[in-house]
Amino acid sequence: MLSNEIAVGRESKAMRKRRSVRIGVIDNGIHVEHAFSADPDITLLHSVRTLPFSLFRYDVVIVATHTDQALLLRLKKHLTRYLQFGGVLVLLGATTQGRHWLPLCEWEGKFPESISFDTTSPDGELIFDRIPDPNYLQYHSKYVGHGSLRISVAKHDATLAADEAGRVLMFVRRLPSAGVLLATTLDPDYHTSVHVPGPADEAVERTHAKAKHLLDNIIKWAFQAAQETPRRFRRRLLGWLVPTVAVIAMVFFYGLPVMAFVYLTSTTASHDYAAAASIVATIAFLGSLASIYCLFLGIVAKKDK
């Protein structure tokens, strides 16, 4: 089985090299780095807190398990717009803890203890490729998914996995002439590396391998789905244009006191302004330097991660 998973991973990477598809994962800490950073085709997104429109540069955006939900609530409108502009949005381990951030669905807290999945659809065939039985999707001893999802009955929703009571654990929605949403309460990204108890008598390495298999399948599906969505040029243009304008405005905002200080202390201006103006300019200059220094420290800290 492990050899099959390696073959799937190689096939997935070869497919990505043939296609011009950009994938980003919102960085949420160490388990995301363990799950995704080994793949050079995947970018960890650090700038979405200050530049949320940078999401639009990517054809696929993954929200990993345990991502900061206060941040996701602030990003909810951007995630919805991202879908409207043809992006492929993948939500893994989707839960809400007092923050209703999920786009186009709601979370329900009862943890399901069983699962069945559909391989008859093209989506299900890719996502559950070489997954032999429902037990293969269980990473915990007592439950399967972290709650369930309440979706609409629109024709654009397709349930791919559910429990015996019909609670949805994974679904796909294709927006008309727009993007694709895949949401699941399964958390294969988390279980690729984290040491947690799996089903009875199962080695941790086995749980990691099962989770990595499903995660690779989801990424492979996402790349194929990204090829079928429209509005790519407009979305990427927004993803570059809006953050660039925001950075220019921020640089101007922080640099304005510096420019004022240089002007007010110059030879030509010193005769026209009182000493008080120079003092105010000096204070503004020092404040600007402090702000630039703090901004620089933030950028360095993100790079160190």
How buried is residue 213: exposed, middle or buried, by Cβ count under 10 Å (0-12/13-18/19+)? buried
* pLDDT(182) > 70: yes
- How far is the CA of 274 from the CAs of 128, 264, 278, in angstroms? 75, 10, 7
Q: To the nearest whole percent, how much of the chain has pLDDT over 70?
A: 78
Two tokens, residue 43: 């970018």
pLDDT band (50, 70, 90) for residue 102: very high
pLDDT band (50, 70, 90) for residue 301: very low
* pLDDT(15) > 70: no
Please name the fold of domain 2-230: Rossmann fold (3.40.50)
Give the range with max mean pLDDT: 32-36, 119-123, 195-199, 203-207: 119-123
pLDDT of residue 300: 47
Q: Which residue has the tokens 């279980």?
A: 191
pLDDT of residue 210: 94
DSSP letter at 95 equals: -
Q: What is the pLDDT of residues 244-294, one digit of tens each?
A: 887 787 777 767 667 766 666 665 555 555 565 666 667 667 767 777 766
pLDDT of residue 293: 67
Average pLDDT (90-119) is: 93
CA distance 198 to 144: 10
Looking at per-residue pLDDT, the higher value among 217 and 260 belongs to 217
Q: Which residue has the tokens 């879908």?
A: 83
Looking at per-residue pLDDT, the higher value among 297 and 157 belongs to 157
pLDDT of residue 84: 92
CA distance 161 to 85: 27
pTM for the whole structure: 0.79
Two tokens, residue 184: 């699941």
Mean pLDDT of the residues in the chain: 83
Residues 6+ apart with CB under 8 A from 119: 125, 128
pLDDT of residue 264: 62
Looking at per-residue pLDDT, the higher value among 102 and 155 belongs to 102
- How far is the CA of 87 from the CAs of 58, 228, 294, in angstroms? 7, 10, 33
pLDDT of residue 235: 84
User: Tell me, what amino acid is at 169?
Assistant: L
Report the DSSP pairing between strands 180-184 and 88-91: parallel
* pLDDT(304) > 50: no
